[in-house]
Structure 1
């Protein structure tokens, strides 16, 4: 792999020298050691740009209610208690992690209650659905702008009054949006309000009530779920992704807030568990969030460092990852590198984390434990910048994503990574959009000793489709990769029709931590048609979701207008195989649907589909 010389002396001065200290023996000791090193880098870069009250970033709270639905009783008092409780949670956790009592910044009125922007919706309750978050935000924008708040430059929390409480039946129904998106610069979270949302009731084991989604639960459990839900979704609005706690963290602190901690928040008050906590990975992210730190220096600047010399070694039920930060002159330094070990399935909810602070030369080493046995998985590396930026925030996209498999005994298999490593120079050239280097790297790869790498590169070098329409292929050709043939028509739901690669810099066809030599990119909704001319007997292959995407698709194969095969819903981390009889068929259609839940992240792939005589 390629090496480099870090020749920027000024940036190197920001980093602490290598330490010979013993490895930390507990999560708390680890946090104390790493937070101190990270803060040294951060403070060296900030210089005189310390927290300034005049630059304070504030969380703006909105109460939105449908036109026919009065605000829930005592909403100002309850939501004030809710947000003050959450503010205290973040402050307590950040202090425990070694960063001091940093937390969200809230506006209050003269009566010391939370400042809430009241907005009445344009339509009645029945006209809104849980998927209407953007619609509700749009209705809030005029009121926010009147208050001098620009929606896409601030962090906003919208409580939606879309619940119905029947006190006699003790029945609660929620119909609210409940999600979030955000970075260190801006974000929005949608929450539900109800008459029984109140952190003062977190300790209540009685009375029991019935929730349409969660069934029969105590009032305290209800508030663990929904006050905890506010805390969790606010985390997303601040730029925090999902992640699950490691075993050592679970033993010490309970459940990670950004994993399933939205359901365990405050459960310790009822003696039902250890409650929720912030992982060190998320604490490191929040340490430079402008709202938490009070420092806004270059907050809108994009970090431009790269991670190089990456090496991954499999140990006893762990991965050891090493590399080097290549700092970009004139941009904020990287003060931490995070690793997310994400087993297939469950989106990124069960991704465990490891953290490292670069040394003076930018070197870092991560030790990733708690590998899930019998799972394919992806290792993602994220760089954190001193201005609050990161390689990625709540999403899973990163140029540093590496697949691996874990056997039934918890041992990692890096065969896929070892193959993928050959493509890193190519991916770098694609990212730079340097056509000369792209062609050079593909030519080198086409001569690789790895048969699969060579086959992939040769297909990428080929211009257009190597073969004509299937009906026109010579009879002596007994088998052909469908992706190498010319379709009669093609349409995809995002980007453009692409064959034998992905239409993005990582390029390689990957799914469930496997690499495929041929395939058809088919982001839902997609339809590819081929003329068979009645000259082929079988079509076989697999279908799946592109690695790093969390969508869900349904794959359909039709011939001459009739459905021959229909998959079950295919989600990330799952592959479905097929072998279809197409004897005598004239027209073949490969269709990808969105599984009924929208087509976000639905990067469907037809993997190594092959026609045989």
Structure 2
């Protein structure tokens, strides 16, 4: 069957650098060995790949296998196999795709028939785990038929509108099969052609999830560039067959290490095992001429060959602009994105840095940031989960802990009870400046400064502060500067002269904006 695939041009402009979407070309990437294993056979079926997708045709107890399902399922998966091959090739990862056991005489793939224990009404959209438990039980009794850790589970349905699981779940993905969704009509400009395109787009998208791919998007400026268009893992399930729909380089960097894309057999237990720790040991940022630049260092406890970046707007994973860069052995990384290439500037964002381990695992670190008047606030906050705080003065109902609870509507307030006295810096002194606020971050962190959010009613707002840091209690306090906080409800920052590695922070408050001898502070934080 002639397949209408969107073959990407390979002679485009010079490569971009770092973790952005590099141009589609024959670039050098950390490709797994192209040495082919001995041919794998299973009865009349064979494959050049050592690991092959387990294809399950799941038949509920009150449904019959759909007419001509073997041809339809085979052609759908061979279409998908060729699409993924082209994407990997275009991004420089070699002529590789996922393995399928196929009968070379008939061009039909190996399909494992599993009869469901229940009627189709018992397998609604939410029943993925129920079906998976039956599939796993079947493979436990037929171990020779399990040729990888990845399953496609295709449920026979009496109608294309029948409710069934249709999503990725771990290393599995669920779709349906009905004669009204037939890939042989993919090229037709007709109702059944449109249905074939919709089915194929959804199939490719959910296959991506079953292979470990998250939602992501191409940079906005690439949506109308020939050979780019729409990321399959965003809303590409809707554009496939109508306009250029591709896998991003970040997606192909994940597939590069996936079990099904390995061209040589690995030792038992090689794939998807181990803790695979990944830490960002330093992170820096700049915003110049509309471009967000991020760079730093990292540590890992197992080999990696790429780091992906995702700029994810809140509640909009389909708009997560991604990129990928290969590692070079220096344990450094860098990425960038032009703000004009993001889809929103009114949402909060998460920058996710994801390490691609050569055994197929991935691990990631998240850095939140926001926009204000379309300008990114890149002072990534330090996680406060392990913080403890104390102060020289606090009112019982407004303790110092309320200044680190991430709620701007609660606040620490110095003690204003009649006759109350301070415990520090001068024990027994009446409530008055200076006030101490001490932070123990639980471990040494590299911080570039502190953040403050004043009382949202602009009462008892802090003015003059002095900040000190130290790494251990055996060290003396290091003066980081004197800062005048402004009388505003917006978050504000006190930047140190350079990044400081410290565990303990002392803030000394010397005055307030209303000349009253008290402080009410909703939030205090640190940033990297």
Give the Å deviation of 1:287. Answer: 0.9
Are 1:157 and 2:129 matched, yes or no? no
Aligned pair partner of 2:299 in 298, 320, 326:
326
Aligned to 1:227, the other structure's residue is in SS state helix
Measured in 2, the distance between the counterparts of 1:153 and 1:254 equals: 32
| Contact kept in structure 2, 1:68 and 1:125, CA below 8 Å | yes
Within 5 A, what are the aligned runs for 1:270-309?
273-274=243-244, 276-295=245-264, 296=266, 298-299=270-271, 300-309=273-282
Measured in 2, the distance between the counterparts of 1:32 and 1:277 equals: 14
Aligned pair partner of 1:97 in 67, 73, 91:
91
CA separation of 1:407/1:199 partners in 2, compared to 1, >3 Å: closer, same or farther? Answer: farther
What TM-score, normalized by structure 1, do the two folds share?
0.56
Measured in 2, the distance between the counterparts of 1:22 and 1:63 equals: 43
Measured in 1, the distance between the counterparts of 2:370 and 2:294 equals: 15
What is aligned with 2:348?
376
Within 5 A, what are the aligned runs for 1:233-382?
233-250=206-223, 251-252=225-226, 253-267=228-242, 273-274=243-244, 276-295=245-264, 296=266, 298-299=270-271, 300-328=273-301, 331-332=302-303, 334-346=304-316, 348-369=317-338, 370-371=341-342, 372-382=344-354
What is aligned with 2:109?
114
Measured in 2, the distance between the counterparts of 1:204 and 1:27 equals: 36
What is aligned with 1:196?
180
Aligned to 1:83, the other structure's residue is in SS state helix
Give the Å deviation of 1:112. Answer: 3.3
Aligned to 1:263, the other structure's residue is in SS state helix
Aligned to 2:30, the other structure's residue is in SS state helix
Measured in 2, the distance between the counterparts of 1:413 and 1:66 equals: 53
Give the Å deviation of 1:192. Answer: 1.1
Aligned pair partner of 2:169 in 167, 171, 181:
181
Measured in 1, the distance between the counterparts of 2:15 and 2:205 equals: 34
CA separation of 1:377/1:189 partners in 2, compared to 1, >3 Å: closer, same or farther? Answer: same
Measured in 1, the distance between the counterparts of 2:109 and 2:188 equals: 24
Q: Which residues of structure 1 form unaligned runs of 5+? A: 1-20, 165-171, 207-217, 268-272, 392-397, 428-437, 448-453, 461-465, 468-473, 477-504, 506-513, 518-607, 609-613
Give the Å deviation of 1:458. Answer: 6.9
User: Which one is further off, 76-85 or 283-292?
Assistant: 283-292
Measured in 2, the distance between the counterparts of 1:103 and 1:236 equals: 15
| Contact kept in structure 2, 1:117 and 1:144, CA below 8 Å | no
| Contact kept in structure 1, 2:53 and 2:99, CA below 8 Å | yes
What is aligned with 1:80?
74
CA separation of 1:73/1:382 partners in 2, compared to 1, >3 Å: closer, same or farther? Answer: same
User: Which one is further off, 191-200 or 120-129?
Assistant: 120-129
Give the Å deviation of 1:414. Answer: 2.6
Larger-Rg structure: 2
| Contact kept in structure 1, 2:59 and 2:155, CA below 8 Å | yes
Deviation string 1:475-506 (CA, Å, 9 cap, x unpaired) is: 99xxxxxxxxxxxxxxxxxxxxxxxxxxxx9x
Measured in 1, the distance between the counterparts of 2:310 and 2:18 equals: 21
The structure where helix makes up a greater share of residues is: 1
What is aligned with 1:60?
54
CA separation of 1:382/1:455 partners in 2, compared to 1, >3 Å: closer, same or farther? Answer: farther
Are 1:38 and 2:8 matched, yes or no? no
Measured in 1, the distance between the counterparts of 2:177 and 2:54 equals: 16
CA separation of 1:141/1:249 partners in 2, compared to 1, >3 Å: closer, same or farther? Answer: same
Give the Å deviation of 1:141. Answer: 2.8
Measured in 2, the distance between the counterparts of 1:385 and 1:85 equals: 28
CA separation of 1:316/1:120 partners in 2, compared to 1, >3 Å: closer, same or farther? Answer: same
| Contact kept in structure 1, 2:198 and 2:238, CA below 8 Å | yes
**Structure with the greater relative contact order (CA < 8 A, sep ≥ 6): 1 or 2?**
2
Deviation string 1:41-86 (CA, Å, 9 cap, x unpaired) is: x66xx9xx98565681110111112212111110000010000000
| Contact kept in structure 2, 1:318 and 1:411, CA below 8 Å | no
Aligned to 2:107, the other structure's residue is in SS state coil
Measured in 1, the distance between the counterparts of 2:452 and 2:361 equals: 31
Aligned to 1:106, the other structure's residue is in SS state coil
CA separation of 1:127/1:356 partners in 2, compared to 1, >3 Å: closer, same or farther? Answer: closer
Give the Å deviation of 1:181. Answer: 2.2
| Contact kept in structure 1, 2:173 and 2:206, CA below 8 Å | yes
Give the Å deviation of 1:309. Answer: 1.0
CA separation of 1:101/1:249 partners in 2, compared to 1, >3 Å: closer, same or farther? Answer: farther
Within 5 A, what are the aligned runs for 1:387-426?
387-391=359-363, 398=364, 400-408=365-373, 410-415=374-379, 417=380, 420-421=381-382, 423=383
| Contact kept in structure 1, 2:148 and 2:259, CA below 8 Å | no
Aligned to 2:305, the other structure's residue is in SS state strand
CA separation of 1:205/1:92 partners in 2, compared to 1, >3 Å: closer, same or farther? Answer: same
Give the Å deviation of 1:103. Answer: 0.9
Deviation string 1:15-34 (CA, Å, 9 cap, x unpaired) is: xxxxxx9846998864548x
Aligned pair partner of 1:136 in 131, 147, 153:
131
Measured in 1, the distance between the counterparts of 2:66 and 2:16 equals: 52
Measured in 2, the distance between the counterparts of 1:152 and 1:26 equals: 34
| Contact kept in structure 1, 2:201 and 2:239, CA below 8 Å | yes
Give the Å deviation of 1:353. Answer: 0.7
Within 5 A, what are the aligned runs for 1:462-477?
none
Count of matched residue pairs: 381
What is aligned with 2:461?
none
Measured in 1, the distance between the counterparts of 2:15 and 2:52 equals: 40
Within 5 A, what are the aligned runs for 1:481-560?
none
Aligned to 1:176, the other structure's residue is in SS state coil
| Contact kept in structure 1, 2:66 and 2:157, CA below 8 Å | no
What TM-score, normalized by structure 2, do the two folds share?
0.64
